[in-house]
């Protein structure tokens, strides 16, 4: 018996779980009711928003810029979040970088410069909306990120490494190890930098008798079966070439517990076996993404077939709950599928400072894609506790926060949705933050445990940085244009002939306004126009210059006419409320945007209120043009490793896309990578490589 769930009613789970067994109804009906309650209990703790993020490299050097693009998908009818938070955390969970970005049509782009004095180590890159903070952090998008400081690598050159220790973890299948039940155990063996190590080991009891043996592959992952009684104390002895042998005490099995064992996985479903001893029945709940779609009452040890929610995108989270509403086991299964696309360069080899033309074919028209051309860096083999076999991935890490939330049956939301982009400063909002100062704490073991290819990249980066300092070279990337507020009329000055001054420009170019002097100062009043209505507004509008609120037009009148990009005005309720200004203004908006954008920082320094001050303005990736004829410019070195980055690649109606970039003075192999997801969330990816050489 199983029940399909799509719209689950909000029921008080604890009450029903207590009452259901006592109801005078057939056993079948009681089990059905218990399954419904358990499904509702899980559903309440699943976020209806999910984030996917891609970034420019697999690992980074301190001093490099990390570029990223993110997309948010929503499965409910609630208003969509318009704000995304991206954080970089250190190993202790402290926030080093916090960015707050505007989501447009569910998409955002951003970047941040990793400080040059940032210590080498493992960090966590995390992205979530404010609403998602109501749910377990493992439902946020997050990824382990390795950062290497070239100065630390240089400082340790030639120094003999101390005794190298192994780091060993044991993860039982579904997070539970029942006593007396043969259970699949995943062991991860890594060095001090979290890199997987090929090792071998045994598990023995206190009498020295070997109970099991295992051997990890080159990625540091081993899988073996283990059964023990609750009284047994087991110790694992692990050794690897050139490493100090490690001894690890295993946790004791659970006296009375059940676990989930995944058997055959096919396109039609998942074979799941409930094993262990338990006096009470259980409910097996299956969720895909943010929706519970399956729940079945389980009595004793039995095998169940759980279907996929979506055969085109097979992923499933299995949770086993007892009748008291507590989670006892968890499994996450994915059959990775991606839409393959063809990525081609116009040739395979290039000289320095030559144009590269890339064509991408087979793209879904609605896909959200990024494109990157960067120095190829081999991925680090860092085991995460998942096992890949027979085309499927089993995640052994359990979501402890989710377990606790389901057990507590929490229903109160502490964090609100953000369906509006608030232009003014909000006191309760934590704005963008980036830590610049770091304690001089060199993790010698971490640096010395890095693979040779990482050390080589760090040494080259150290040399390049010194050359760039000698020439005084800086990043070419410019800040993105300010977010434009919705307007009823937009007047772009490049569309008109030259005028003598700002006053003449406003008078001649704009419509729907009246300009006049009042007490010696220029003022503007807007003409309100709507079907059947036309009237002058009573007072002056809200004056804006590059997103800064002005008290009058003095700063506008003093502008360099050649620096004005556009004049934009809004009077209608529709436009003002779309920009969330309806509560702030009664007489419309008169906004000037400059080409240089320099007025924003200058006026901000004067203490004037700034719109969007609590949001990050992402930089535009600047693609250098072809080599300049300027002799001085041509002689300047160009050691860019990131040749191209496009956070939102435009796809033509034919499903193709084309872009160009230029090689730098850096030689070697560069990877062209296009990745993202379809509107349905299916991964899309494709890549190719080019080689840059010194040509005679």
**Tens digits of per-residue pLDDT, 482-513?**
778 899 999 999 998 888 999 999 999 999 99
What confidence tier does 268 reach under pLDDT thresholds 50, 70, 90?
confident
Query: Helix, strand, coil proportions of the chain in percent (round to 5)?
Result: 15, 40, 45
3-class SS of residue 542: strand
- Asked if residue 221 is part of any domain, the answer here is no
- Asked if residue 302 is part of any domain, the answer here is yes
More confident of the two residues 541 and 634: 541
Query: Which residues are paired to 372 by β-bridges?
Result: 645, 673
What confidence tier does 632 reach under pLDDT thresholds 50, 70, 90?
very low
Q: What is the DSSP letter of 6?
A: S
Q: If we measure between CA atoms, which residue out of 560, 522, 562, 520 comes closest to residue 541?
A: 522
- Asked if residue 247 is part of any domain, the answer here is no
Query: Which pLDDT score is estimated for 14?
Result: 46
Query: Which pLDDT score is estimated for 2?
Result: 42
> Domain end: 605, 632, 649, which one?
605
Check whether residue 601 and residue 537 sit in a common domain: yes
Query: Which pLDDT score is estimated for 429?
Result: 86
Query: Which residues are paired to 95 by β-bridges?
Result: 89
E-assigned strand segments in 396-510:
433-434, 478-479, 489-492
Q: If we measure between CA atoms, which residue out of 610, 671, 649, 691 comes closest to residue 423?
A: 610
E-assigned strand segments in 408-469:
433-434
- Do 670 and 643 form a contact (C-beta atoms < 8 A)? yes
Check whether residue 330 and residue 343 sit in a common domain: no
Q: What is the DSSP letter of 486?
A: P
| Mean pLDDT (whole number) for 59-67 | 97
Q: What is the tens place of the pLDDT at every residue in 566-620?
A: 999 999 999 998 888 887 889 999 999 998 888 888 999 999 999 988 999 888 8
- Longest CA–CA separation in the chain, Å: 98
Looking at 30-39, 294-303, 398-407, which range is the least confident one? 294-303
Number of neighbouring beta carbons within 10 Å of residue 656: 14
- Asked if residue 538 is part of any domain, the answer here is yes
d(CA 637, CA 644): 18
> Domain end: 450, 479, 508, which one?
479
Looking at 83-87, 324-328, 438-442, 551-555, which range is the least confident one? 438-442
- What six digits make up the tokens of 139? 């439902």
Q: If we measure between CA atoms, which residue out of 365, 585, 606, 370 comes closest to residue 486?
A: 585
Confidence check: pLDDT of 13 > 70: no
Query: Which pLDDT score is estimated for 15?
Result: 39
- Asked if residue 31 is part of any domain, the answer here is yes
Check whether residue 582 and residue 670 sit in a common domain: no
Check whether residue 533 and residue 601 sit in a common domain: yes
Distance from chain centroid for Cα 40: 28
d(CA 545, CA 567): 10
Using the structure block, give the residue that is written with the tokens 């990578």: 673
Check whether residue 518 and residue 581 sit in a common domain: yes
Residue 312 to residues 336, 478, 679, Cα–Cα distance (Å)? 10, 41, 13
Check whether residue 504 and residue 576 sit in a common domain: yes
| Mean pLDDT (whole number) for 400-429 | 90
- What six digits make up the tokens of 495? 């569309």
- Asked if residue 669 is part of any domain, the answer here is yes
- How many Å from the N-terminal Cα to the C-terminal Cα in the chain? 74
Number of neighbouring beta carbons within 10 Å of residue 536: 12
| Mean pLDDT (whole number) for 66-72 | 96
Structural domains in the chain (count): 4
- Do 59 and 27 form a contact (C-beta atoms < 8 A)? no
Check whether residue 123 and residue 66 sit in a common domain: yes
The rounded mean pLDDT for the chain is 89
Check whether residue 601 and residue 514 sit in a common domain: yes
Query: What are the backbone angles phi and psi of residue 689, rounded to the nearest 5°?
Result: -125, 150
Query: Which residues are paired to 389 by β-bridges?
Result: 392
What is the domain extent for residue 601?
A: 489-605
- What six digits make up the tokens of 654? 């034919």
Residue 70 CA neighbour count, 13 Å, CB half: 31
d(CA 241, CA 194): 17
d(CA 56, CA 49): 24
What's the CA angle centered on 267, arms 399 and 39, to 5 degrees?
40
Percent of the chain with pLDDT over 90: 65
d(CA 119, CA 108): 28
Query: Which pLDDT score is estimated for 279?
Result: 65
CATH number of the structural domain spanning residue 88: 2.60.40.1930
| Mean pLDDT (whole number) for 435-454 | 90
Q: What is the tens place of the pLDDT at every residue in 343-353?
A: 999 999 999 99
Q: Alpha helix (H) ranges present in 82-232?
A: 150-155
Q: If we measure between CA atoms, which residue out of 620, 691, 630, 627 comes closest to residue 662?
A: 627
pTM of the predicted model as reported, rounded to 2 decimal places: 0.90
Check whether residue 525 and residue 601 sit in a common domain: yes
- Asked if residue 639 is part of any domain, the answer here is yes
d(CA 591, CA 515): 14
Q: What is the tens place of the pLDDT at every residue in 639-676?
A: 999 999 999 999 988 889 999 999 999 999 999 999 98
- Asked if residue 506 is part of any domain, the answer here is yes
Query: Which pLDDT score is estimated for 437?
Result: 84
CATH number of the structural domain spanning residue 305: 2.60.40
Q: What is the DSSP letter of 444?
A: H
d(CA 157, CA 572): 66
Q: If we measure between CA atoms, which residue out of 182, 180, 116 comes closest to residue 152?
A: 116
> Domain end: 479, 508, 534, which one?
479
- Do 261 and 272 form a contact (C-beta atoms < 8 A)? yes
More confident of the two residues 28 and 560: 560
- Do 327 and 321 form a contact (C-beta atoms < 8 A)? yes
What confidence tier does 16 reach under pLDDT thresholds 50, 70, 90?
very low
Check whether residue 280 and residue 362 sit in a common domain: no
Parallel/antiparallel/unpaired status of strands 282-288 and 246-249? unpaired
Check whether residue 451 and residue 349 sit in a common domain: no
Query: Which pLDDT score is estimated for 146?
Result: 97
Q: What is the DSSP letter of 458?
A: H
Check whether residue 82 and residue 139 sit in a common domain: yes
Confidence check: pLDDT of 278 > 70: no
3-class SS of residue 147: strand
């Amino acid at each position: 018996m199983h029940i399909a769930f799509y719209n689950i009613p909000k029921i008080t789970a604890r009450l029903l779980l207590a009452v259901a067994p006592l109801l005078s109804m057939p056993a079948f009906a009681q089990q059905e009711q218990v399954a419904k309650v358990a499904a509702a209990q899980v559903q309440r703790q699943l976020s209806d928003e999910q984030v996917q993020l891609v970034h420019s490299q697999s690992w980074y050097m301190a001093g490099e810029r990390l570029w990223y693009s993110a997309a948010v998908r929503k499965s409910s009818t609630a208003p969509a979040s318009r704000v995304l938070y991206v954080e970089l955390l250190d190993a202790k969970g402290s926030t080093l970088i916090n960015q707050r970005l505007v989501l447009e049509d569910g998409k955002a782009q951003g970047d941040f410069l990793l400080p040059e004095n940032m210590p080498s180590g493992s960090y966590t890159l995390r992205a979530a909306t404010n609403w998602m903070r109501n749910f377990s952090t493992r439902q946020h998008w997050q990824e382990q990120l390795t950062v290497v400081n070239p100065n630390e690598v240089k400082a340790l050159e030639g120094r003999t490494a101390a005794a190298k220790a192994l780091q060993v973890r044991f993860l039982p299948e579904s997070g539970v190890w029942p006593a007396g039940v043969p259970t699949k155990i995943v062991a991860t063996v890594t060095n001090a930098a979290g890199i997987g190590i090929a090792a071998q080991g045994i598990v023995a009891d206190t009498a020295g008798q070997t109970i099991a043996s295992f051997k990890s592959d080159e990625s540091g992952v081993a899988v073996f079966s283990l059964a023990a009684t609750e009284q047994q104390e087991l110790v694992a002895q692990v050794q690897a070439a050139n490493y100090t042998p490690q001894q690890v005490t295993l946790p004791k099995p659970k006296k009375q517990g059940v676990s989930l064992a995944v058997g055959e996985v096919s396109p039609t479903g998942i074979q799941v076996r409930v094993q262990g001893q338990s006096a009470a029945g259980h409910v097996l709940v299956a969720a895909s993404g943010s929706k519970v779609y399956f729940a079945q009452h389980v009595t004793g040890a039995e095998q169940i077939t759980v279907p996929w929610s979506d055969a085109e995108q097979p992923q499933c989270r299995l949770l086993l709950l007892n009748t008291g509403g507590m989670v006892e086991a968890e499994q996450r299964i994915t059959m990775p599928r991606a839409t393959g696309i063809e990525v081609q360069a116009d040739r395979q080899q290039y000289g320095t400072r030559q144009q590269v033309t890339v064509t991408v074919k087979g793209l879904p028209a609605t896909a959200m894609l990024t494109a990157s051309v960067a120095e190829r860096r081999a991925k680090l083999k860092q085991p995460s506790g998942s096992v890949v076999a027979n085309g499927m991935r089993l995640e052994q890490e359990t979501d402890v926060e989710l377990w606790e939330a389901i057990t507590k049956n929490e229903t109160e939301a502490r964090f609100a949705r953000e369906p509006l982009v608030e232009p003014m400063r909000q006191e309760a909002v934590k704005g963008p933050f980036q830590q610049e100062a770091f304690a001089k704490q060199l993790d010698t073991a971490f640096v010395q445990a890095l693979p040779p290819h990482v050390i080589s990249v760090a040494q080259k980066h150290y040399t390049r940085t010194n050359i760039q300092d000698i020439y005084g070279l800086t990043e070419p990337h410019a800040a993105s244009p300010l977010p434009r507020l919705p307007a009823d009329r937009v007047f772009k000055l490049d569309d008109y002939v030259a005028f003598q001054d700002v006053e003449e420009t406003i008078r001649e170019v704009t419509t729907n306004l009246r300009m006049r002097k009042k007490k010696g100062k220029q003022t503007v009043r807007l003409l309100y126009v709507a079907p059947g209505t036309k009237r002058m507004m009573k007072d002056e509008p809200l004056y804006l210059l590059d997103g800064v609120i002005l008290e009058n037009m003095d700063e506008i009148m003093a502008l360099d006419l050649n620096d004005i990009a556009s004049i934009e005005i809004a009077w209608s309720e529709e436009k003002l409320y779309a920009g969330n200004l309806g509560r702030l203004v009664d007489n419309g908006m008169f906004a000037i945007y400059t080409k240089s954008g320099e007025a924003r920082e200058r006026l901000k320094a004067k203490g004037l209120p700034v719109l969007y001050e609590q949001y990050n303005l992402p930089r535009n990736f600047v693609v250098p043009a072809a080599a300049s004829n300027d002799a001085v410019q041509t002689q300047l070195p160009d050691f860019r490793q990131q040749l191209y980055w496009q956070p939102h690649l435009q796809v033509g109606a034919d499903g193709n896309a084309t872009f160009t970039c230029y090689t730098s003075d850096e030689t070697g192999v560069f990877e062209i990578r296009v990745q993202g997801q379809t509107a349905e969330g299916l991964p899309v990816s494709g890549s190719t490589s080019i080689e840059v050489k010194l040509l005679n």
